[in-house]
Structure 1
Amino acid sequence: MVSWIVSRVVVLVFGTLYPAYYSYKAVRTKNVKEYVRWMMYWIVFALYTVVETITDLSLAWFPLYYELKVAFVIWLLSPYTRGASLIYRKFLHPLLASREQEIDDYIVQAKERSYETMVNFGRQGLTIAATAAVTAAVKTNHM
Structure 2
Amino acid sequence: MFHVFCLGFLCCSMVFGILLPVYESYKAVKTKDVRQYLRWMMYWIVFGLFMCAETFTDIFLGFWFPFYYEIKVAAVFWLLSPTTKGSSFLYRKFVHPAFEKREPEIDEMISQTKERGYNTIVNFGSRSVAYATQVILQTAVKCLKT
TM-score (norm 2): 0.93
- Describe how 1:51-90 pairs up with structure 2 within 5 A: 51-61=53-63, 62-90=65-93
- Describe how 1:77-116 pairs up with structure 2 within 5 A: 77-116=80-119
CA distance in 1, matches of 2:54, 2:39: 22
The letter of the residue matching 1:130 is T
**What's the offset of the Cα at 1:2?**
0.8
- Describe how 1:31-46 pairs up with structure 2 within 5 A: 31-46=33-48
**What's the offset of the Cα at 1:10?**
0.9
Q: How many residues align?
A: 143
**What's the offset of the Cα at 1:12?**
1.2
**What's the offset of the Cα at 1:83?**
0.5
**What's the offset of the Cα at 1:56?**
1.4
- Describe how 1:126-137 pairs up with structure 2 within 5 A: 126-137=129-140
CA distance in 1, matches of 2:57, 2:141: 55
Unaligned segments of structure 2, at least 5 residues: none
Match of 2:123 among 102, 120, 123: 120
Unaligned segments of structure 1, at least 5 residues: none
CA distance in 1, matches of 2:61, 2:141: 58
**What's the offset of the Cα at 1:55?**
1.1
**What's the offset of the Cα at 1:77?**
0.1
